[in-house]
Structure 1
Amino acid sequence: MTITTHQRTTILEVAREAKASKTSVSRYFSGERERLSPCMQTRIAAAAQRLGYRPNRMASGLKRGRSKLIGMLVADIRNPFSIAVMYGVEQACRERGLSLMVCNTDNDPAQEREHLSLLASYQIEGLVINAVGSLDQELQTLVQQGIPLVLLERELSEVEAEVVGLDNARAIDLALDHLQDRGYGELLYLSEPPGLASPRQARLTRFQQGVAARNLTGETHCQPLSEPETLQNAISNFIARPGTSPKALLCANGNATLAATRALQAHGAPLGDIGLIGIDELDWCELVSPGITTLAQPTEAIGRAAVECLMRRREAGDRTTPSRQVHFQAILIPRGSTRR
């Protein structure tokens, strides 16, 4: 049996094929083409195409002290918010000639630490992180090594990093004002356990403050969404409980909105009679009759802003540059689920 191996074409072979020097070929592929004559550029391009040559971008970048790699650590890559923000990050990276390396931690702090070590070994130029665990020490070490960080929807008090995300307090206020204007007076807030996730903590706290300030009746159910029976019982008990005002559910994210919609359908409760509003606009929300009211996050803008913050911090080259918090406003999309 004959085994055929394919070796990577080298820059020296391209130089021989193009009848050019190795230095000229290196200049052609390293962004210095203007230093070569048009004829030389044409010969090198044709030779590279004939031989199937692909330059090693990482190697050439490291020679200049730049890997042109941006790392992104995602707590749950199945989360629609994470996917949508990732799109904005990737678009911004591509426009700047950067490549994006994504690691999914599956909400596991141990995997977070492992992936952080992996990303650091690739000499990334910056890191966008959606943390679930307490990584203050590990992240601060990266900062001390000169790697700029941006935290997505998370705040870690001991880490010098930019924070980019939603204005959670304003989003909850917007939801409460809308529900109150539509006549709903008894509210059930649905969320996964807040844990160490600062946006969940911020949204839960604002809900509790907001219902008190508006003289509304508010309850909370903060349990894992992987327990549908528990959620179903909580919603059924809320609906069945005697009250004097129309009832509504406020969902802390897209996953909670989906779980609540399923629970209401199983219960046979008409949307609108029982109000439903959720943070995060998902494609299916307008398809479920009569449409689900949402608070849309400008996810692409959030992703792009994360990369802009990274580049700003990297170009400053000064670890003492004050960190910023960049907050975006939610956009209310009213539909039939809050129309009594």
Structure 2
Amino acid sequence: MADSPRRATILEVARDAGVSKTSVSRYFSGERDRLSPDMQRRIASSAGRLGYRPNQMARGLKAGRSRLIGMLVADIRNPFSVAVMHGVEQACRAHGFSLMVCNTDNDPAQERDHLALLTAYRVEGLVVNVTGRPGHELEALAAQDTPLVLLDRALGDVEADMVGLDNDQAIDTALDHLRAQGYGELLCVSEPTEQASSRQQRLGRFRERLDADGLQGEACCLALDDAPALERAIAGFLDRPSHAPKALLCANGNVTLAVTRALQALDVTLGETGLLGIDELDWCALVAPGITTLAQPTEAIGRAAVDSLLQRLAAPERPAPSRQILFTPELNARGSTRR
């Protein structure tokens, strides 16, 4: 059996790059800002050429730090989760951290198990897109001075920063656009709201705006795997007599996909019946005549979550009050809301 290739050492990288071992160590430990751009390029080039990979576990044990950021996502198949995860990973890499991702598959029991696992790996910070109400487990992490950031979903019993979309503004933008386009009767479609505060906020704001603006409308919450029930709900809404053009507002990207399929099955003409979805997905511009969306700045949301963790890691002795960091959606108007 052939011998496995020998791993390059930090000393070899330093000699090749013409720098000190301390500089190489700083480059791989999140202190790159202390090095000149030229020195960073030389170290990166030498490490790549020699195939050097730092032993992060050994470095963490030596320094008492793991250099790991944990991320808990409710559904890794959700395009929103994937897009935000990319922003989180990019920010972690830029600061010398590795990202450890756990998917709960919307199962509170798995959520508790994964939180225990992340604790065992001594993650230095945690980004959490909650499924259930893991207040006790998150409080235990906070008691160990592990900073937490809640992603998209808030927990009233946990003191932590929350990063996500400005849901009130998203609904306001959607309704203002639909009304300006001449739609007067609306159906807001959402997944069940019990385990997601963002869904609750969006539906709550929708109902508030209906009452305040005198719009006609209703909301329905359905499991998306029950396609016949969704088709019946949409058909019932569209078949009711009305003097005003009708439109559907989808509370997230998964709902937009399910509603689009239902409208195609019902042979509904988009535009004549309006359709607007929260979350921009790649296919929305491809389905004729194009689906109007509200795009979330997912990259910025992911980076903001990591920035929040790093700020708290930098000053653990001066804990600041928890805060909400909310982002503005961008309207992509297409043919589905053009009558």
TM value normalised by structure 2: 0.88
CA contact under 8 A between 2:184 and 2:215: conserved in structure 1? yes
For residues 147-186 of structure 1, the aligned pairs below 5 Å read: 147-186=146-185
For residues 12-161 of structure 1, the aligned pairs below 5 Å read: 30-31=25-26, 49=50, 54-161=53-160
Cα gap change, 1:6/1:257 in structure 2, threshold over 3 Å: closer, same or farther?
same
State the partner residue of 2:333.
334
CA contact under 8 A between 2:312 and 2:319: conserved in structure 1? no
Summarize deviations over 1:126-176 as a string: whole Å, max 9, x none.
000100111111101101101000000111112121100000011001101
Q: Which amino acid aligns with 1:98?
A: F
Matched, 1:238 2:233: no
Summarize deviations over 1:85-108 as a string: whole Å, max 9, x none.
001101111111111111101000
Query: How far off its partner does 1:74 sit?
Result: 0.5
Moved over 4 A (4+): 3-11, 25-29
Q: Please identify the structure whose Cα radius of gyration is greater.
A: 1
Summarize deviations over 1:235-254 as a string: whole Å, max 9, x none.
11111111111000000000
CA contact under 8 A between 1:294 and 1:334: conserved in structure 2? yes
Cα gap change, 1:207/1:57 in structure 2, threshold over 3 Å: closer, same or farther?
same
State the partner residue of 1:271.
270
Q: Which amino acid aligns with 1:31?
A: R
State the partner residue of 2:323.
324
Q: Which amino acid aligns with 2:205?
A: R
CA contact under 8 A between 1:29 and 1:55: conserved in structure 2? no
Cα gap change, 1:64/1:190 in structure 2, threshold over 3 Å: closer, same or farther?
same
Cα gap change, 1:291/1:202 in structure 2, threshold over 3 Å: closer, same or farther?
same
State the partner residue of 1:210.
209
State the partner residue of 1:306.
305
For residues 282-297 of structure 1, the aligned pairs below 5 Å read: 282-297=281-296
Identical aligned pairs, as a percentage? 60
SS of the residue aligned with 2:326?
Answer: strand
User: What is the distance in 1 between the residues matched to 2:129 and 2:216?
Assistant: 33
Q: Which amino acid aligns with 1:74?
A: V
Residue segments in structure 1 that go unaligned for 5+ positions in a row: 35-40
User: What is the distance in 2 between the residues matched to 1:31 and 1:312?
Assistant: 19
State the partner residue of 2:219.
220
User: What is the distance in 1 between the residues matched to 2:27 and 2:190?
Assistant: 53
Q: Which amino acid aligns with 1:94?
A: R
CA contact under 8 A between 1:251 and 1:279: conserved in structure 2? yes
SS of the residue aligned with 2:235?
Answer: helix
State the partner residue of 2:39.
none
User: What is the distance in 2 between the residues matched to 1:162 and 1:125?
Assistant: 15
User: What is the distance in 2 between the residues matched to 1:210 and 1:332?
Assistant: 18
CA contact under 8 A between 1:92 and 1:307: conserved in structure 2? yes
SS of the residue aligned with 1:30?
Answer: helix
Query: How far off its partner does 1:55 sit?
Result: 3.6
CA contact under 8 A between 1:277 and 1:294: conserved in structure 2? yes
User: What is the distance in 2 between the residues matched to 1:294 and 1:56?
Assistant: 44
SS of the residue aligned with 2:192?
Answer: coil
Q: Which amino acid aligns with 2:307?
A: E
User: What is the distance in 1 between the residues matched to 2:266 and 2:337?
Assistant: 18
Residue segments in structure 2 that go unaligned for 5+ positions in a row: 29-33, 35-41
SS of the residue aligned with 2:259?
Answer: helix
User: What is the distance in 2 between the residues matched to 1:8 and 1:74?
Assistant: 37
Q: Which amino acid aligns with 2:323?
A: R
Q: Which amino acid aligns with 1:249?
A: L
CA contact under 8 A between 2:73 and 2:104: conserved in structure 1? yes
SS of the residue aligned with 2:26?
Answer: coil
Q: Which amino acid aligns with 1:123?
A: R
TM value normalised by structure 1: 0.87
Aligned residues, how many?
321
State the partner residue of 1:37.
none
SS of the residue aligned with 1:200?
Answer: helix
SS of the residue aligned with 1:271?
Answer: coil
Q: Which amino acid aligns with 1:30?
A: S
User: What is the distance in 2 between the residues matched to 1:55 and 1:180?
Assistant: 57
Cα gap change, 1:60/1:338 in structure 2, threshold over 3 Å: closer, same or farther?
same
Q: Which amino acid aligns with 1:85?
A: V
